[in-house]
Chains A and B, each alone.
Chain A
């Protein structure tokens, strides 16, 4: 090893080559997870919400939207876009039934009308008045269908109960059973919407790419012909986030490296030194990447973006060593002078990462692993390899020295003023309750969503009314009970439960009893006599009632059966039904009514479900932060056995936390998970600065040593800002939050270390 280290250049190239190869191979095995779900603070409820949403019948929903100047143009454009879609290799399935399918559903409703009619909430059809009225409607129906030749099912529903059930269903499905060109037309007849299922989910990126290309083609075609057309789906949001994060991470990584190189070269002015000083970082990344590739199958893009920035922290140990190494004759002496501060700084930084896994948030756990590993490996490589590779006197450079003015009482007052001013922001702190605010701003997609919402009620909001049970029958009964309550409370409010078409067993028995108690054959026959129909027209129906106990529902038409089946999902040995509610407003109204009942239900709404957990997490995160400060303080106190040293060491990170809170206000954002991440990091980094300044005064450094300590902290702050500050350039809100708060925090940590600590520690030494 010693011989290898003697030939520094050989070692550098071998080491860099192996590290590069390890990073390259590792990236092949790491699947990047770009979803923002990894930012959710998971509790049982949210875990269920996310899992069920992914299994929901709408998870692969794709909306086609077309808008033209007038109805005629619209019809032409629907055909044009239809042709483009047909040519594309995606197997779309329409969720809106065609005329033939609706005919079959009508036949089913008529044939089974006797049992599917909701006697519990609709009028009793067997009263004298109702029979007269309904027989008239039946004959009117015949007269209003001039070329209609009644099929068998027509005669199985004399009281028009089947069409009434279909009306209820059509209303609950937002008119999807009165389709136009297999889709829906807006009230102003200028916009068209078609809802398809594409058969793959948002994170199946290879297929999503096809959808993105198709959307591009559709948009181009529409633009060329002067109308509006686009696809809309959750897939496109995921894709935009993926491409933006990938792009941002690449740019951030390159900028970080360039800035750090530039800062390094500016101060040390020797390319050779610069190359060797990067070995711990390259090696740290290589080992961390390898570890991640072995342990994790999927790794978050956000954690990786963060990981790129840890180079800003990892290089601090190298900077401190390089800045001061030539002040001392040998490595032993260097370690004696600054080794304690380096090790203590490393321990406290790692200590701050150790708390992240307690959040139970995937992203934070990944950040903890990636950050903790990179910094640890980089520190160890810096200590055991770099320091031996370039011991004191081995490479002599003319370090650029900045003469820092000696801070005095005035500096302390300035610092106090800054801290007090930023402390005011604590009173304005607001916590983020919408996890989607951590994603990027999908400007165009949100505009498209608003266009759709103004014309139709269809949206990408995956909001479901859910019922859980061990059997489908149990679930159907629960959903039907809820439906009945909703209808009684607010007849305009509705949702589609399959129980409307396939009532649960218990309900069927109740209805059979109702029919037998209320149906009077003579009354019906008497009224039939006065109608246009022959006396024996509905005999089969009467026979059905006579043999009601043996009556079985017929099989559902295929299309509706498939739709219903897709609404049932299984998760953790339980069955669920997910009923789309389309709008948050409907969900709120339904929730308001059902919450006052004993119905066993829940609403799935990722945004709402995550907000409660998010707020709870953010508040508990603050407690975690305070805990971290206490733990770090204890470590420092144990190390120094002096309360003032422990206090001065921790002061920079406390001021950095104030800045972090302040920046949430000044950047117009609420305190979110990423601000918490940066708070934890600022604890670790800020305390390093405090330790070095405290160490300098504790060990009675001479002026040159003290100046170089300021300088090493200054260079460290600059490289950290280079690492994190560039994150503020990201369009992704979570990465921006991390970058901006780290930037402000590091600036404050440095100002505290430079302006206040020397004043506090100098007085202490005088007293001593």
Chain B
């Protein structure tokens, strides 16, 4: 039994590796639906929202929250726009939307974040922490993934709030419909 426990510990410790990359969907092609939950001490109860994310290469990305407030964050050919409801889209900086770092070029992520990977029960657990001074808002980001499919993202903010994204119906490696990236 001791040997087995030792082997398990060894197995776990062997699999704690400092990965260079967080999971990238195959061919950077992705369709996934999400439910987000925001918990914070200033909120009576968590705020939840639903939507989906579509990705076709690093430069074509759509984050669409369908309820309770309709918003669209689009990255088309590198240009990021934000649109709320029926308003005109406005161009934004990627820095203004922390979440997008997850879907950024791995090289850019590694510039600003340290990534640690653990594998437990065939699931990959990533701990993403900002390098010194690179982000004053985020303490850490925890990512749970199976191969190239992310299941959960938890963002821990410095003011004690937490933002969780749970993903479902995820499809990777398949070219998404072009309609998502039309203007």
Contact = CB atoms under 8 A, between A and B. Distances in A.
Interface of A: 71-72, 75, 98-100, 103, 139-140, 142-144, 146-147, 149-150, 155, 178-181, 185, 532-534, 537
A143 B68 contact: yes
A142 B39 CA distance: 12
Contact of B161 (A71, A149, A185): A149
B63 interface: yes
Interface string B154-175: 0101110101000000000000
Interface in B35-62: 36, 38, 41-45, 47, 49
A534 B42 CA distance: 5
Nearest to A72: B77
B98 interface: yes
Interface in B76-102: 77-79, 84, 90-93, 95-100
A149 B137 contact: yes
Contacts of A71: 183
Given A72-B77, A99-B92, A180-B91, A147 B43 contact: no
B96 to A, nearest CB: 6
Contact of B98 (A147, A155, A185): A147
Interface of B: 36, 38, 41-45, 47, 49, 63, 65, 68-69, 71, 73, 77-79, 84, 90-93, 95-100, 137-138, 155, 157-159, 161, 163, 183
A155 B157 contact: no
Contacts of B71: 144, 146
Given A149-B98, A149-B159, A178-B90, 11 more contacts: A99-B92, A99-B95, A100-B95, A142-B38, A143-B68, A143-B69, A144-B71, A146-B63, A150-B161, A532-B44, A532-B45
Contacts of B73: 146
A268 to B, nearest CB: 76
Contacts of B69: 140, 143-144
Contacts of A99: 92-93, 95-96
B43 A532 contact: yes
Given A140-B69, A143-B69, A149 B44 contact: no
A245 B155 CA distance: 67
Nearest to A177: B90
Nearest to B102: A147
B44 A533 contact: yes
Given A99-B92, A149-B98, A143 B43 contact: no
Given A144-B69, A180-B91, A150 B49 contact: no
Contacts of B63: 146
Contacts of A532: 43-45, 47
B77 to A, nearest CB: 6
A149 B157 contact: yes
Contacts of A537: 42
Across the A-B interface, the 8 shortest Cβ-Cβ residue pairs: A147-B99, A99-B93, A180-B91, A537-B42, A149-B157, A144-B69, A147-B98, A143-B69
Contacts of A146: 36, 49, 63, 65, 71, 73, 97, 99, 163
A118 to B, nearest CB: 23
Nearest to A529: B44
B103 to A, nearest CB: 11
Nearest to A185: B91
A716 to B, nearest CB: 70
A99 B97 CA distance: 11
Contacts of B92: 99
A150 B159 contact: yes
Contacts of B161: 149-150
Nearest to B67: A143
A471 to B, nearest CB: 38
A13 B9 CA distance: 110
12 contacts: A99-B93, A100-B95, A142-B47, A143-B69, A144-B71, A146-B36, A146-B63, A146-B73, A147-B100, A178-B91, A532-B47, A534-B43
